[in-house]
Every structure is written in structure tokens, then in C-alpha cells.
Amino acid sequence: MERRTIGAAALEVGAIGLGCMPMSWGYTASQRSGEGSLGALHAALDRGCSLLDTADMYGPFTNELLVGRALKARRQDAFVSTKCGLLAGDQHIVANGRPGYIKRACDASLRRLQTDRIDLYQLHRADPEVPIEETWGAMAELVAAGKVRSLGLCAVGARAVRPPRAARTELRAAGVRGRPRSRMHDGTLRQLERVQQVFPVSSVQAELSVWSPEALEELLPWCESRGVGFLAAMPLGNGYLTGTLTPGQGFEPEDIRARHPRFTAEMMAANQPVVAGLRRVGARHGATPGQVALAWVLAQGRHVVPIPGTKKERWAAQNAKAADLALTQEDLREIAVLPPARGSWY
């Protein structure tokens, strides 16, 4: 598989990674233990998908334990990325960015992952009660101690302020120069500028997909201009862009899509033209809609690494093949004019 470079530390990873969250958190109670997902982990590593993305809160803790089992015999094949800074309880998720906690969390992650180093340690969310420079400084000390090789930040933002794609197209057609400014990632950009003064940022993780392209506005250019890697989370739109979900199908109560505005029967039906467009492009290449969606993300820059999540060996293998799909300019133009996704995201 093609290799790509992650940020300031110049660490190489496979062009497509593996999001491990669905193996034990967020989608189905039956996967709490992660049993049955080891095959997906090994299938990804076998095909060069070296970046394994996990977090201590997934489970909580069980996801790291599962990844640790896979790493035990093949640590040299993997680039391990995990996260700190969030605590998951029965009812609430809270941030904790206190330096002492961050250091203890790192030691606990190392034990669960059965490794002596974390290749990429990401701050899951900033703690509003702790200056982010203090949290980041503690993480930088972990690099100095040899426990961590590089640092990353996960991005969040408010989508509602971003003008719809149709409005931007109309403005360009009218001769308006530039893009309407999005404030979706303003908070994240400010955080990034602050922590860069403390220790170099190697990567930013944020959502990016055909039906959620907001990061293209400012966040992706910020990363590219500074040599920072971009980890594209949810590049398959929580599975919707694979074309395997049926409008109106039910989801288990613990599945995050059961409460997701874009996964109502009405919105799933309304967004079928997006999948249909990906299917048309895929037909020219003998590829699935999901592979086209991943290839589109790869085409957004050499510093971009999509991390599609799955718990099944079959899908991990299929996702890996997207690295071999080179979309043409015609393909990219066709995807660019697909109708914008309908339904609020959060």
C-alpha cells in the first residue's frame, strides 16, 4: 500500500488506516467485548493499513485491550494512535485535561495496548477548566520521556454556521471571489495555534467525507500549509456512503445512528442521490460506492489519511483496496456536483 507521512515527526503510515471504535463502542452492545473483531484488525494490518486508531474512552478501555491483543505478535506492523482527555460514564462524557491525569492515562493506555510506546497520542477534547497549554505541555513531557512519539489534536466545531454548498456555488457563479467564511473550526484553529507554541502538532483528526466536506474550508488548508497530517474520521459517513444501508432500516438502541438526524428513514431516502452518484463513478472502475468515497478523501491531499471504522474482516479488506483506486478529474468533478447531504449532522 502507498505510504503517507504524518506531520512534524515525519512518521510513515499506510494511506488508509483503521478506525477501531466500532469494535467496542458506539454502534452495538453485542460488540462491547470486541470479540470477533480481531480478524478485522489482522486483515487491515495484512494489507498495509498500519494506522490503528483507538482511544481509552472507547468501551471504555476495552477497545485498547482488543488492539493490544492484536499488537502482541505484530507490533512492528502497526502505527498505534490512541487518545486521552475524555472520561465516559454511564450518562455523561466529561473532559479531563489535568496534567497529572494525562500522564496516568498514558501509562494505563500503554499497559492495555501491551506496548512501550504510543506512535501518536491525541488529545480527544480540550478541558474548558484547564488551559490547553498545560494539557499539551504534559503530553509533550510524555514525548520527552520516550512513551509517545508524536502528538495530535481532535477537532470539533459547530456545523450550523457553514453556508450550504448550493449557496457557495451560486456565489461563485455570480462572480463573487473567495469562499464564504465558515466558523465551524474556528475554536480548533485557535487551539492549534496555541499548542503549536508549546510543542509541534503532528496531526489533526476531524470528520471528512463526501457528505461532510466542511474541513476543506479552513482546517485542511491549515494542516497542509504547516506540514501537519490530517486523519479523516468517518470518511464513509457512519456507513451510509457504502450503499449497504437501507432507508428505514432499524438500528440497535445503543447504535449512535439510532439518534442521528441523517439516519431517519426520511433523510436516508433523501440522501440516496449521493450514494447513487458514488455508485456511478464506481461502475467505471469496478469499485464499490464506499471505495469511491475513500478514494475521494485520499484525493484531497498527500497529507490526508482516512480512517474508516469497521468491526468486520470483510469490510476492512474492501476498504484497503480503495488505496489502489485513482479517481480521474472527471470523476472528481462528478462527485463535486452531487447534491449536498440533507439533514442536520448533530
Outline where the chain has alpha helix (H).
38-46, 62-71, 99-113, 132-144, 165-173, 186-196, 219-226, 265-270, 272-285, 289-298, 313-320, 329-336
Give the span between the Cα atoms of 336 and 327, in whole angstroms: 12
Q: Residue 14: beta bridge partners?
A: 3
Is residue 58 part of the annotated active site? The answer reads yes
Positive or negative: CA dihedral 139, 144, 146, 149: positive
* Cα–Cα–Cα angle for 121, 128, 100, rounded to 5 degrees: 50
Give the span between the Cα atoms of 310 and 41, in whole angstroms: 9
Outline where 145-229 has alpha helix (H).
165-173, 186-196, 219-226
CB-side neighbour CA atoms (13 Å) of 123 = 34
- Determine the residue type at 185: H
Residues in the chain: 346
Longest Cα pair distance anywhere in the chain, in angstroms? 59
Give the span between the Cα atoms of 281 and 126, in whole angstroms: 39
Positive or negative: CA dihedral 294, 215, 26, 73: positive
The three-class DSSP label of residue 231 is: strand
Note whether 80 and 118 are within 8 A (CB): yes
Q: Quick one: DSSP state of residue 33?
A: T
- Determine the residue type at 118: I
Q: How many other CB atoms are found less than 10 A from the CB of residue 228?
A: 23
Catalytic residue among 27, 58, 121, 240: 58
Positions marked active-site = 58
